[in-house]
């Protein structure tokens, strides 16, 4: 499903070049849930940015079903990403002036797909929030916000769900409940997932754990 080949990422600062990822190679098979762990600053979010195609590598490739996302023309890459890759963040990134159902409808509206409201309601029901459709993010708990974000991630029927510290802002009990739902939905919809996490318990529940240390992967 996803193949990472000799991925390098450096950031140029005024004085020098900072090499964060030093040639990563790994595969994620369809249906797998992979954890990426490592110290703060080890490059986990940088790696997720590359997997999502939001950021560009210094060198190396990210293949989705054998197709290199960075060799696609810009427009094609944007469409590929919108249709196939969803991202979940520690801080949810919901739009504050849109209700739960409007937040979940948004990706479908951007893709000009039909039945946005119906699909959004269906997904919010799947994440157990059919009683919170018209609430704004400020009127929802952290766990509820993350469930809205999961619904928004799933509504486009992507191939891949990427999550960056999805439990980082939740207490441990809420985090566990949200991730139990996450796992259930990834399996049900036959998705592939990469989860960046500090949480060792969560990492242990994944199919594999890749440890990022000093720019190299240790599995
Ligand atoms: N745009 C950038 N420019 C310069 N350095 C960056 C940039 N983004 C991240 N870094 C550096 O790269 C390292 C890895 O960052 P990050 O991927 O956010 O780590 P993690 O998510 O594992 O905590 C950090 O040392 C950070 O300071
Ligand atoms: Mg990070």
pLDDT, mean of each 10-residue run, the chain (219 residues): 97 90 97 96 96 95 95 92 94 98 96 95 96 97 97 96 96 95 96 95 96 91
Tokens, residue 182: 């996450």
150 within a domain of the structure (yes/no): yes
Tokens, residue 107: 């990706």
Phi, psi of 215 (to 5 degrees): 85, 5
What is the pLDDT, as a whole number, of residue 102? 98
What is the pLDDT, as a whole number, of residue 14? 87
Which has the closest alpha carbon to 158: 30, 9, 23, 6? 30
What is the pLDDT, as a whole number, of residue 183? 97
**Residue 90: domain span:** 28-59+80-218
The DSSP call for residue 5 is: E
What is the pLDDT, as a whole number, of residue 219? 75
Which has the closest alpha carbon to 134: 146, 114, 148? 148
- What ligand has the least distance to the C-alpha of 37? 1
102 within a domain of the structure (yes/no): yes
CATH number at residue 109: 3.40.50.300
120 within a domain of the structure (yes/no): yes
Give CA–CA dist 28/126, Å, rounded.
26
**Nearest-5° angle of CA 167, CA 79, CA 84?**
40
Phi, psi of 33 (to 5 degrees): -115, 115
**Ligand 2 centre and the CA of 38: distance in Å?**
10
What is the position in ligand 1's atom list of the atom closest to the CA of 39? 22
187 within a domain of the structure (yes/no): yes
Domain count, the chain: 1
What is the pLDDT, as a whole number, of residue 15? 85
84 within a domain of the structure (yes/no): yes
**Ligand 1 centre and the CA of 41: distance in Å?**
6
What is the pLDDT, as a whole number, of residue 13? 87
CB 215 near ligand 1, within 6 Å? no
3-state secondary structure of 214: coil
Whole-prediction pTM: 0.94
Which has the closest alpha carbon to 107: 140, 71, 148, 141? 148
38 within a domain of the structure (yes/no): yes
Give CA–CA dist 151/88, Å, rounded.
10
Taking CA atoms only, the protein residue closest to ligand 1 atom 24 is 41
CA 141 to chain CA centroid, Å, is: 20
What is the pLDDT, as a whole number, of residue 104? 98
Return the axis-axis angle of helices 100-110 and 116-126, rounded to nearest 10°: 130
Helix (H) or strand (E) holding 143: helix 142-154
């Amino acid at each position: 499903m996803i193949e990472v080949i000799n991925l390098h990422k450096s950031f140029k600062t005024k004085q020098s070049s900072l090499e964060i990822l030093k040639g990563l190679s790994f595969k994620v098979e369809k249906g797998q849930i992979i954890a990426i762990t490592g110290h703060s600053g080890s490059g986990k979010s940088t790696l997720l940015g590359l997997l999502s195609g939001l950021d560009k590598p210094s060198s190396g490739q990210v293949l989705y079903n054998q197709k290199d996302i960075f060799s696609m023309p810009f427009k094609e890459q944007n469409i590929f990403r919108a249709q196939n890759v969803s991202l979940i963040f520690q801080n949810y990134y919901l739009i504050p002036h849109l209700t739960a159902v409007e937040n979940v409808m948004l990706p479908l509206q951007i893709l000009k797909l039909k039945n946005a409201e119906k699909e959004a309601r269906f997904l919010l029901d799947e994440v157990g929030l059919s009683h919170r459709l018209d609430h704004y993010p400020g009127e929802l708990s952290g766990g509820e916000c993350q469930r809205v974000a999961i619904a928004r991630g799933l509504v486009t029927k992507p191939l891949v769900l990427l999550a960056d510290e999805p439990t980082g802002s939740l207490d441990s009990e809420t985090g566990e409940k949200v991730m139990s739902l996450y796992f259930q939905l990834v399996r049900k919809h036959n998705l592939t997932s990469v989860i960046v996490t500090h949480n060792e318990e969560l990492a242990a529940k994944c199919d594999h754990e890749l440890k990022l240390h000093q720019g190299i992967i240790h599995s």
